[in-house]
Structures are given as C-alpha cells and as structure tokens.
Amino acid sequence: MIAGVLVEISNKAVDKMFDYSIPSFLENRVKEGIRVLVPFGKMKLEGFVIEIKNNNIYDKKLKDILDVVDSDIVLNEELLELGKKIQKKTLASLISCYQVMLPKALKAKHGSVVPVRFDTFYRLRKNICLDELKFNASQLKIVELVCEKKIVVRKDLGDISLSSLNTLVKKGVLEEVKKEHYRRNYEEGITFKHELIADQKKVVSQVTLDSPHTYLLYGVTGSGKTEVYMEIIDYYLNQGKTAIMLVPEISLTPQMVQRFQKRFGSKIAAIHSGLSDGEKYDEWRRIARGEASIVIGARSAIFAPLKNIGIIIIDEEHSDSYKQSNCNPRYQAKDIAKMRGEYHCCSVLLGSATPSLEAMARAQKGVYSLLKLPNRVNGKSMPKVEIVDMNREMKTIRGHFSKKLVDAIQNCLDKKEQVILLLNRRGYSSFVMCKNCGYTFKCPNCDITLTYHKSSNTLRCHYCGYGEKRYFECPKCHEKALSNLGLGTQKIEEELSNLFPTSQILRMDYDTTSRKGMHEKMTNDFRDGKYDILLGTQMVAKGLDFSNVTLVGIINADTSLNIPDFRSSENTFSLLSQAAGRCGRSEREGFVIIQTFNPNHYAILFTKNHDYFSFYKQEMNIRRVLKYPPYFYLCNIKVSGKDSDFVLKEALKIKGELSRNLNNIIILGPSTASVFKVNNIYRYNIILKYKIIDNLSEVLERIDEHYKTVSKIHLEIDFEPSQIL
C-alpha cells in the first residue's frame, strides 16, 4: 500500500504530495487524515496522509513511512476535501490550508509539547479476595475507603500515607486507572429560556422548516437575535445534530458565552484566543469525539471537527475579523461556512444589526433570504440620539466633554443609572511632536510614526516592535517643546474623574484587559453595579447587554471616518450603531450622545435615525460610482522586498502580465502601500477590480509560481481584502 503524504514544511516549492510505502507493521494504523513521520531528504518530517492508493504507479522503490504521530486521524474526510477547496479559492499552499484547521498542539514543531492530562484513580483489582490478606492500620483504612467508594483519587485519602497506597498497588490489591482530564469544566445548564415573541418565532420557524440555504437576519440591537440563535440551535440538537456559532472576538463577548452556557451547559465548547494551547487542544478533542455539540468561537472555530452539522450561525457578520488577513490562507470564514453548509446540507445564518453591504446586496438580489427583527423585544423604541457639533463646542470647552454630555452623565448618575462611554480609537494612536519645529518621531525601519506608551514612557513602532525612550529635548531644534498628542483612554479617564470625582469609573481598553479573564471580570463587575461609568475603546460597543445602562456617549465619532479605506463610512456607521444599541435594552429608556466634528456626514446622520436602509442605499450609490464591492470584486496583490527599485520593476512586470492575459478587469497601481516601508521591506500594492473572470486564478497562480523562485521578491495574493493598506 502507498500513502500520499503532504509534509509540514513552510517552503512553498515543496507544497505537493509525496508517495511513501506503508510498512506492514503500520498497515492497520495509517489512514487518510492521520499524521505520520516520514524521511524527507536528510530530515525526518511530520506530514498528513492525504490519500491511500493500492499500488505504486512508478516502478521506483519508495521510502517507508517511519511511524504514525497520533493514535487517530486529525483530519476527517470532509476537512480533507475542504482544504483542497480553500487552496483553490485562496491560492495559498495546501499545507497551510490544513494547518489552519488544527489547534497548535497538532502542528509539527510547535515548540512546547502540549500533553494530554490524566487523572489517576485507584480501585480494587478484579477477583481479589480480601479475606486472605493482611493489612496494617493505614492500608486497612485505604481498603475500607475503596470498598465503600469503589474508586478513589489520591486526594480522597486525606492524611493517609502515600507509601501505603503504593504498597497496595505493588501487592496487586489495587490497580491504577488513568483517565483523561480536561483543563476546563462546564457547569450543567439549567436550560433557561425566554418565551419567544411572535417576530422571533417567525424567524426560528423559517430557518428550521425551509430547505437549507443562506439566510441574512437583519435585527436591530436588542431585538433578541441571540435568543433566536439559541432556539434554532436547540431545534437541531433535538434532531441529534450539531451547531457552530461564530462571534467576532469571543474573549470580548463573555456575556454571549455565559448565556449559551446557562442554557446548554457542557454541550458547548468555547474556543478563543484567551485559552492556553492545552485548553484549546482539550476543546478540540471534546469536539472531535462528539462530546460537545455546540461550538462557539471566533474565526477559526469554523474548522471545528464536528460531524452532522445542523446549522452554522455567524453573528455580527459585518465584522472584518471573519477575514484572515495577516497570513495564509487568507480565507473568509463566511465562505468556509457555505462550503461546510453544502457538505452537511445545512443552512448558514448570518446575523447583524448593521449587515455588511455585500450581504445585504445579496439578500436584495435574492441570493440570500432576508429575515427581519425590526423591533426591540421590550417593545421600546430605539434610543434617542443627539449629535453634538464639536467645532462649536471647542470654542467654549477645554477638554473632550461637551456641556451636553457632561449634563447627561450627571443626570444619569443622579438617577443611579449607568453610563457607557466610547472612545473611538479605530486607526488611532498617541504620538509625540515638537511644538516648536513640528518634528515627529519615526521608526528607522518602517515608514510610520512611533506610538507613545505612557506606562513605560517609550516610543514604539506598532509594525516591527522597534522601541526607544521618550526624549525631553527635540532632536532637531533642541527645544524642550515635545508634547504628547492623541487621545488615550487614560487621559480621558483623568478628565472624567475630575468632572465626576465621586463616581466609580471603569476603564476597559487593550491595556487593562490584556490579562487573562480580566475582560470577563470587568464585564461582571459593571453588571453588578460596582461602577457607574464604563469607559473604553471599540470593545465596549460590542454585545454588552446591561439593563441599567441608559446613556451611551461617543466621545469622538470621527477617527474611523478619516481612515483612507473605502469601507470607512460603513465601519463608522456600524460602530456607532452598535455602541448606541448598548442602552435602553430593558424597561428604562436609553439616550445617546454623539460628539463629532462632521455633524453632517451621512454615516453619522443615519446613525441618529437608526436608519440602516437609507445608509445602505447611499453607500451603495457611492460604491457603484467608484466601482467598489459589492459591485466589483477586489483582489490585492502585495509585492514586497528589500530593494525598492527592484520591487517596483517586478511589480510593473506583474501588471503587464496581468493586463496582457486578462480581459474586463481594472488594474490599479502598483502603488506604494499606506505604510511603504515595514521592517526595511518595501511594499507595493496592485489592486484588481473585476466582476467575473474565468482565467483569473490560473493567471495569478502562474505568476505566484514564478515568484516562488525569485528570492528577492515576496508575493501575497489577497482576495476580497478586508482593508487595503
């Protein structure tokens, strides 16, 4: 027997299957989807068995597989096929398409070994006759305990000596049993649920009764989408099926997991970046063994090795976190969901209060079925939104808080209600500038301004990690006129506590939540009323559901509008709408204040009226005129290298090759990336806009193949990029 093996090696040129023969001692253990150890040149490498064939089509003698790595397969039939489809769609290496599906513990040379943990139990050996044996006092105690409890662990023995236990094992009275032990425990659920309202019921029955396809659920914030997701999942669980539920960044949505856990208990497996490698591996094994039937997680949870999937749900489908953009394969989880949906004949449900333009356009064309939850469950209207023009305010105030916002906060505190304040820092950071000559500090390796970090008093590069101490004197004009610019949450927190000295303020940002479990703790503390004001970055806009929050203040609506990206209006509209949706979620009415320097921008005006569809129409017009998605597809080809002239020359060659071989395509560039130099690597973008081109993949693959052999050029192909930078 012969096995086709894909070896785990990052060299792009080696990305193909190699044949090995299966030695007879491994014949029963080598299967498709198992990991094996093989000789490769002078090395021993790990690889995946992709295919098993009966005979050797070449006459030459093949090398033997050395061993199997795991006791069972790690890629089932579905995932093996899926990997090939992803390879075709993204043009990444096949090995990367399989690696992305597996937890780190199952990747070759992941550094630290992540062992399976075991608990040791003791029980009486079968057929042992106790009457014939003699015991000392402490041995007798142990034997009595084991007889009573049938099975014990060491800690049950209290202060009885361990040597007695060991003697009993040696004598053959007791035997040791090892059982796998998972690092995390789930409490049993209490199957708590709300009686659904009519709108919710309608959505549930449409999804569960209709034939499988893709649905887009447009439901305003607080319309009860999460409750609908749980009901749909329950339906499929009762049919003996399983479910995947994706959320943008699960460690930022502890409430969602808590709600699922409350209802489904240990049936769920939650995978997210906050878990250790060991915990992730445990969760993966629970899923693969069918011990968990609902998987909740961020992007990569779409690859969970569930069998018999009944529904795949993608919450906040507009989030750009569903696109993997920093490494290969550059996949979109929504595409993978559809592929898996086809395999399992199940529906895919995309949900959002602010659907992406792409999704809504497909729903309008009838490619997706549109479902709506137009009202909040509590029967209340959406919160009232007021816009404050900061151009005017800045003439009378010194800090960042308009009089309106200050009054509203005070009013809220007086009523013992809670406030959420959003500091919009999307694409924003603090930097140091000389007030005398205008000098700013730049990274020596990258074409970017250094970011000021107050805690360590250093300037750092967010691209390459370069760091230096913050000076007091300007290196150019030698004046002591350096000043920190930019809006940090710390600075706003100081201002807030001066304005409201007796209130309890909770700051939630990247710094304060980086320690494991902090985000969840803060969320719970705020819910329990230990704080009056929650101040934070983007993370306070997502998914929080607190009944006592009646005011949301947005300190600066504009930063995300100024990012040079064609999606900046869409991202701003969705961020503001999501933030606004955090208040008025139960009996008490909610109120929102948006501070902005662009009070007439349509993204802000439509947020004020909670008018998603008008925003959609206006933004679609702009996209049509400018030939952007969803009217056109985009593909970004990133060409980079150390020698900037050479990179440009090659990028121009690529452009020439593309225009000679492709029709009906718009080719922009090569243009310098928005940060041209990163870590001394110069970067150019070539942007393709197109509708349908049959031979696009073929042409790109050929170019990609060629540049694998040009060591001075690095090429990356990114279909449907979430951002072009």
Residue 6: is it exposed, middle or buried by C-beta count within 10 angstroms (0-12/13-18/19+)? buried
> The tokens of 344 are what?
């399992």
CB of 434 to Zn ion, least distance (A): 20
For residues 703 and 686, what is the distance between their CA atoms, to the nearest angstrom? 13
Of residues 179, 181, 194, 521, which one binds ligand ADP by CB under 6 A?
194
Residue 577 engages ligand ADP in binding (rule: CB under 6 A): no
CB of 463 to Zn ion, least distance (A): 5
- The H helix count followed by the E strand count for the chain is 19, 30
CB of 243 to ligand ADP, least distance (A): 16
Instruction: Name the residue nearer to ligand ADP (CB basis): 27 or 587.
Output: 587
Instruction: Name the residue nearer to ligand ADP (CB basis): 223 or 568.
Output: 223
CB of 225 to ligand ADP, least distance (A): 3
In residues, how long is the chain?
A: 725
Of residues 47, 103, 224, 341, which one binds ligand ADP by CB under 6 A?
224
- Where residue 24 falls (left for φ over 0; alpha for ψ -120 to 50; beta otherwise) is alpha
Instruction: Name the residue nearer to ligand ADP (CB basis): 312 or 715.
Output: 312
Angle, helices 696-707 vs 644-661, to 10°: value is: 150
Going by C-alpha positions, the residue among 450, 439, 511, 431 that lies closest to residue 478 is 439
Residues numbered 363-382 forming contacts with ligand ADP, rule: CB under 6 A: 377
Interface with ligand ADP: number of residues (CB under 6 A): 16
Evaluate whether 436 touches 458 at the Cβ level (below 8 Å).
no
Choose the binding region for ligand ADP from 21-29, 122-130, 140-148, 193-201 (rule: CB under 6 A).
Answer: 193-201
Residue 566 engages Zn ion in binding (rule: CB under 5 A): no
Instruction: Name the residue nearer to ligand ADP (CB basis): 191 or 659.
Output: 191
Q: What is the 8-class DSSP label of residue 162? A: H
Exposure class string for 229-249: b at 16+ Cβ within 10 A, else e: bbbbbbbbbeeebbbbbbbbb
Residue 226 engages ligand ADP in binding (rule: CB under 6 A): yes
Of residues 47, 219, 278, 641, which one binds ligand ADP by CB under 6 A?
219
Going by C-alpha positions, the residue among 570, 569, 317, 579 that lies closest to residue 424 is 579
For residues 276 and 255, what is the distance between their CA atoms, to the nearest angstrom? 20
Residues numbered 534-573 forming contacts with ligand ADP, rule: CB under 6 A: 545
Residue 355 engages ligand ADP in binding (rule: CB under 6 A): no
Residue 19 engages ligand ADP in binding (rule: CB under 6 A): no
CB of 254 to ligand ADP, least distance (A): 13
Of residues 585, 655, 677, 683, which one binds ligand ADP by CB under 6 A?
585
Interface with Zn ion: number of residues (CB under 5 A): 7
DSSP alpha helix (H) spans, 438-547 = 489-499, 518-527
Site of tokens 């989408």: 225
Report CA torsion sign: 697, 703, 707, 708: positive
Whole-number CA gyration radius for the chain: 29
Residue 415 engages ligand ADP in binding (rule: CB under 6 A): no
Of residues 90, 200, 538, 598, which one binds ligand ADP by CB under 6 A?
200
Cβ count within 10 A of residue 210:
11
Instruction: Name the residue nearer to ligand ADP (CB basis): 48 or 260.
Output: 260
CB of 4 to ligand ADP, least distance (A): 46
Instruction: Name the residue nearer to ligand ADP (CB basis): 172 or 374.
Output: 374
CB of 513 to ligand ADP, least distance (A): 21
Instruction: Name the residue nearer to ligand ADP (CB basis): 316 or 718.
Output: 316
Evaluate whether 18 touches 63 at the Cβ level (below 8 Å).
no
646 binds, among Zn ion, ligand ADP, none (CB under 5 to 8 A by kind): none
Exposure class string for 269-301: b at 16+ Cβ within 10 A, else e: bbbbebbeebbbbbbbbbbbeeebbbbbbbbbb
Instruction: Name the residue nearer to Zn ion (CB basis): 364 or 440.
Output: 440
Residue 673 engages Zn ion in binding (rule: CB under 5 A): no
**H or E element, residue 533:** strand 533-536
Of residues 89, 225, 285, 362, which one binds ligand ADP by CB under 6 A?
225
Residues numbered 442-471 forming contacts with Zn ion, rule: CB under 5 A: 443, 445-446, 461, 463-464, 466
Residue 178 engages ligand ADP in binding (rule: CB under 6 A): no
- Where residue 331 falls (left for φ over 0; alpha for ψ -120 to 50; beta otherwise) is beta
Of residues 103, 222, 274, 297, which one binds ligand ADP by CB under 6 A?
222
Report CA torsion sign: 153, 159, 161, 162: positive
Instruction: Name the residue nearer to ligand ADP (CB basis): 197 or 687.
Output: 197
Instruction: Name the residue nearer to ligand ADP (CB basis): 540 or 700.
Output: 540
CB of 202 to ligand ADP, least distance (A): 12
CA distances from 64 to 6, 27, 30 (A): 14, 11, 12
- Going across the sheet that includes 451-453, the strands are 451-453, 458-460, 467-469
445 binds, among ligand ADP, Zn ion, none (CB under 5 to 8 A by kind): Zn ion
CB of 230 to ligand ADP, least distance (A): 8
Measured at the CA of 661, the angle between CA 655 and CA 662, to 5 degrees, comes to 85
Choose the binding region for ligand ADP from 196-204, 236-244, 408-416, 519-527 (rule: CB under 6 A).
Answer: 196-204
Instruction: Name the residue nearer to Zn ion (CB basis): 51 or 468.
Output: 468
For residues 425 and 430, what is the distance between their CA atoms, to the nearest angstrom? 10
Note the residues at the interface with Zn ion (CB under 5 A). 443, 445-446, 461, 463-464, 466
Note the residues at the interface with ligand ADP (CB under 6 A). 194-197, 200, 219, 221-227, 377, 545, 585
